[in-house]
A and B are shown apart, each in its own frame.
Chain A
Amino acid sequence: MSLVFAGVASHAPGITARAERADPQLRDAFYAAYRRMAQAIRGSGAEALVLVGAEHFANFFMDNMPAYCIGMGEEYEGPIEDPDWLKIPRGTWPGNPDLSRRIITEVMQTVDVAYAEEWKFDHGMMVPIHFLDPGGDLDIVPVNINCQGPPLTPLHRVWEFGRALRRACDAAPEKIAIVGTGGISHWPATPNSGKINEAWDRDFLDKWTRGDRDALTAYSDAETLRDAGQGGFEIRTFLAVSGATEGASADIWFYEPIPIFAVGCTIGVVNLDSEAAKQAAE
């Protein structure tokens, strides 16, 4: 088994772009949880980071929108946004085309996926990388699920995509960390930016920590749009991690709404030991 770490983390651009405008106590506690996640990834011995994101029309547009895409580049440049706006310096991060090719090939056994040898990271990748791998020590395998331009892939398919990613990771000798990065309820890039449905988020996270497939895949997009905003479509990134760690429980290391960051800021980590224990019991 080569999956050594699994978790989820928020990526809203305000997390870095508007850092100085947040409640310092909340912000610092959130950053600390992010750094704790970085330490846990380092401690796991991970050599590669499969980062499952929901990019925002940086690389993919409605002229040819893949439901799923996996990067197969030698390196990736980012941020695509103005670095002064995002407050993350522009740089390049190493890819691993050989590992990507093996992952893509295995995923394709059950899920049709696009691939990309060229990929510019937007805040959706850059914010997690800024906290989790600022030195570029890990090989990045970027994964995108279209969460922005409907029609969107249905949640039960996302679950299967997560399972396929896991199968691909398990077939690789490299030690791999997987992190899903998205928002839960939020209304980003609207006049209501900063609106967060905390009760909905906490209910979702309760289901997520239990890895409850039936509950997690039961949301309709209409319900999500109504209760969690268009940003809520990014729960797909959380579900992919659940699918990849089916049977495991997870812990929330941090959750607090931080309105100026436009999202309920979240760090969640899957307890991979619980998965092994459950499998052993069966």
Chain B
Amino acid sequence: MSLYSLQKLIYELNRDPRVQRAFTEDLDGLLANYRLTPEEEAAIRTDDVGELYIMGVNGQILMHFAAWRGFEWDEYIQAMKDGLKKHGQVKGGLYAAVDGGEGGAV
């Protein structure tokens, strides 16, 4: 349920300027609406795109979150590579099955 909630937060952020405003102005209040683990919450608070990718956030959702948080393209790709190096392979979601379970490991 937790990965679902994490992805739903980012999905809603990506498409709704009101949620983006809440993220910027009242992050605690916004996060209270989603059932996240402490680790997921920390990854969101620190813009840890690499760890979010490893947690299993679908890349098509994560890509736009990264862009919105100011990641340039190469920084975004590098963040995912760093995430793989630091945390190991993708743990959940569709991307855990990509490349035979390597989740896009180069």
Contact = CB atoms under 8 A, between A and B. Distances in A.
Interface band, chain B: 20 to 34
B92 interface: no
Interface in B24-72: 53, 58-64, 67-68
B22 interface: no
B11 A61 contact: yes
Contacts of A199: none
B63 A225 contact: no
A61 B7 CA distance: 9
Contact of A229 (B68, B81, B98): B98
Given A63-B8, A82-B67, A149-B94, A192 B99 contact: yes
A61 B9 CA distance: 11
A91 interface: no
Contacts, number: 80
A200 interface: no
A225 B11 contact: no
A173 B85 CA distance: 58
Nearest to B12: A61
Nearest to A82: B67
Interface in A139-195: 148-150, 187-193
B15 A230 contact: no
Contacts of B94: 148-150, 230
Tell me what chain B mostly uses at the interface: helix, strand, loop, or mixed.
helix
Given A187-B104, A191-B104, A57 B99 contact: no
B67 A191 contact: no
A225 B97 contact: yes
A189 B60 contact: yes
Nearest to A230: B98
A189 B15 contact: no
Contacts of B59: 188-190, 230
B84 to A, nearest CB: 6
A226 interface: yes
B100 to A, nearest CB: 7
A22 B45 CA distance: 34
A149 B58 contact: yes
Nearest to A13: B63
B92 to A, nearest CB: 13
Chain A interface residue bracket vs B: 20 to 34
Contacts of B14: 57-58, 80-81
A280 interface: no
Contact of B98 (A18, A56, A187): A187
A230 B81 contact: no
A61 B6 CA distance: 12
Contacts of B61: 56-57
Given A61-B11, A63-B8, A230 B95 contact: yes
Contact of A81 (B53, B67, B97, B99): B67
A18 B4 CA distance: 30
Contacts of A225: 97-98
A189 B106 contact: no
13 contacts: A57-B14, A57-B58, A61-B7, A63-B8, A80-B14, A187-B99, A191-B80, A192-B98, A192-B99, A192-B105, A225-B97, A229-B99, A230-B95
Interface of B: 4, 7-8, 11, 14-15, 53, 58-64, 67-68, 73, 77, 80-81, 84, 94-95, 97-100, 103-106
Interface of A: 17-18, 56-59, 61-63, 80-82, 85, 120, 148-150, 187-193, 225-226, 229-230
Give 6 closest A-B pairs by Cβ, nearest first.
A189-B59, A190-B104, A56-B60, A192-B104, A191-B80, A191-B104
